[in-house]
Chain A
């Protein structure tokens, strides 16, 4: 005799699957089933819904020289015409590939710049990353970016990045924004 799952057990299976679906869908920004829908859903329906909710993760907007083009058009550009490629990603579902082209050079040309910007806005300029304004320490001496720039990189023997509580413990409140500690040879 086979034991049919009780209505409660069926609801429990459906709910646990649906919670996983919700988490996934939330991450993807997809349309979510309502709690009322969940109540009435059986396992098969929840699985179907999860499948439907899964977005096309590969969809991207292609912009060539400032104009929207299809994926096929973008991919058809000869590599030696490409000057820069910039990939902007906000999350799993929305990304943008910006390509600028140049005239074919005598040398055949090559991709000079590839930028991948994650988490930036899709429209408008990508915000410049804020410069490091934590503590710079060279050979134990507090220093400034200008002085740090004067160091011959070949003389650097050690670079430490100290963050969080560890930085504050050693350097006090000054270390709150992080510490870059460089040791050079003499």
Chain B
């Protein structure tokens, strides 16, 4: 892939810059959901600018940071609500051949995250590449179980994210809630939960509130984005985010609800609007 780097658009083809002016009068969220924002959606915005804006619009954290940025949100009274994975999306726990490396790297990575105050780390199933669902589940359980003693010892929760395999991550294995719930049941540890991405699961299976209701004990984190398009969670897309947020809050959910959409318009305005929509 190195050879193709030259063709990749430099500096933020997708990560929309936040507007320079940060509104000063925003009211922090007083709702029941603890809202955060995914860093990669503002890839070209310096982390300090993103943190300052997040604080202003009423978010409590920044999602999906790597070790090089883990400590920055703390300077703004924010949390890093989810650490990036030490592995990649296509190469995950569904293949025993990946286990030794993933486990060895994870053993080093998890304590570092814990020391930086990062309590959750996203992990991925990997791509199917012809593997059956049953085999993938069994392999994920076996691989992840090896990391549970370290994760439990450090109080870190590994969250497997369900992603759509139709639009964004072709051939990804954990592309349905039922599949990932089987992994969670098998791993059976307080240090393993699921990251339910509302956008990805709407693309794959819909029935969002009923699915959350049936599987909430296995879910420790949410992501948002509009469907279709993965942009603002406004009235121009098909999901009723206010209703979804209202339901999740009504369950007494104490985890994080992180916005992970790519703003088509002004980044700050989009975040303010999203926070307002989900302040329930």
- Chain B's interface size range is 35 or more
B38 within 8 A of A: yes
B8 contact set on A, CB distance < 8 A: 153, 156, 159
B90 near A186 with CB under 8 A, answer no
Given A160-B10, A186-B64, CB of A151 within 8 Å of CB of B44: no
Q: Are B66 and A137 in contact (CB under 8 A)?
A: yes
Cβ proximity bits A88-115 to B, threshold 8 Å, 1 near / 0 not? 0000000000000000000000000000
Chain B residue numbers with a CB within 8 Å of A154 are 168
B79 at the interface (CB under 8 A from A): no
Across the interface, which residues of A come within 8 angstroms of B4, CB to CB?
153
Residues of A within 8 A of B85 (CB): 139, 141
Query: Known pairs A184-B88, A184-B89. 19 more at Cβ < 8 A?
Result: A132-B2, A137-B66, A140-B65, A140-B66, A140-B68, A140-B69, A141-B66, A141-B67, A141-B84, A147-B88, A150-B91, A152-B89, A152-B90, A154-B168, A158-B11, A158-B13, A159-B5, A183-B39, A184-B40
Are A185 and B68 neighbours in the complex by a CB distance under 8 Å? no
What are the interface flags for B30-49 relative to A under an 8 Å C-beta threshold, 1 for contact and 0 otherwise? 00000000111001100000
Pairs across A and B, CB under 8 Å, 21 listed: A138-B88, A140-B66, A140-B68, A141-B66, A142-B67, A148-B1, A148-B2, A150-B88, A150-B90, A151-B89, A152-B90, A152-B170, A154-B168, A155-B169, A157-B13, A157-B40, A158-B14, A160-B11, A183-B40, A185-B40, A186-B161
B5 & A180 in contact (Cβ 8 Å cutoff): yes
Q: B86 interface residue, CB < 8 Å from A?
A: yes
How far in angstroms is the closest Cβ of chain B from A162?
11
Asked if A170 is at the interface of the complex by the 8 Å CB criterion, the answer is: yes
Provide the bound-state CA to CA distance between A57 and B56, in Å.
Answer: 62
From 130 to 175 in chain A, residues with beta carbon under 8 angstroms from any chain B beta carbon are 132, 137-142, 145, 147-161, 170-171
Chain A residue at minimum C-beta to C-beta distance from B3: A149
Q: Which residues of A contact B39 (CB under 8 A)?
A: 183
CB distance from B86 to the nearest CB of A (A): 5
- Closest chain B residue, CB of each to CB of A147: B88
Residues of A within 8 A of B232 (CB): none
Is the beta-carbon distance between A186 and B15 smaller than 8 angstroms? no
A-B contact count (CB 8 A): 96
Chain A interface bracket (under 10, 10 to 19, 20 to 34, 35 or more): 20 to 34
Q: Contacts of A140 on B, CB cut-off 8 Å?
A: 65-70, 84
Complex CA distance for A112 and B105, rounded to whole angstroms: 42
A150 to chain B, nearest CB (A): 4
Instruction: Knowing A138-B88, A139-B66, A150-B91 are in contact, say whether A186-B2 is a contact too (CB < 8 A).
Output: no
Q: Which residues of A contact B170 (CB under 8 A)?
A: 152
In the docked arrangement, what's the CA distance between A155 and B14, Å?
Answer: 10
Q: Any chain A CB within 8 A of the CB of B239?
A: no
Q: B12 at interface (Cβ–Cβ under 8 A)?
A: yes
B64, B89, B91, B109: the one within 8 Å of A155 (CB): B89
Alpha-carbon distance A4/B67, docked complex (angstroms)? 75
A138, A145, A185: which contacts B2 (Cβ < 8 A)? A145
Smallest CB-CB A-B distances: 9 pairs: A140-B66, A158-B43, A157-B14, A139-B84, A183-B43, A150-B91, A159-B8, A140-B68, A141-B66
Q: How far is the CA of A101 from the CA of B279 in the complex (A)?
A: 70
Q: Does B122 contact A (CB under 8 A)?
A: yes
Quick one: closest A residue to B88, CB to CB? A150
Indicate if the CB atoms of B89 and A170 lie closer than 8 Å: no
- Does B50 interact with chain A (Cβ within 8 Å)? no
Asked whether A185 and B1 contact (CB < 8 A) given A141-B66, A171-B68, the answer is no
- Chain B residues with Cβ under 8 A from A142's Cβ? 67
Min CB–CB distance B88 → chain A (angstroms):
5
B69 touching A185, Cβ below 8 Å: no
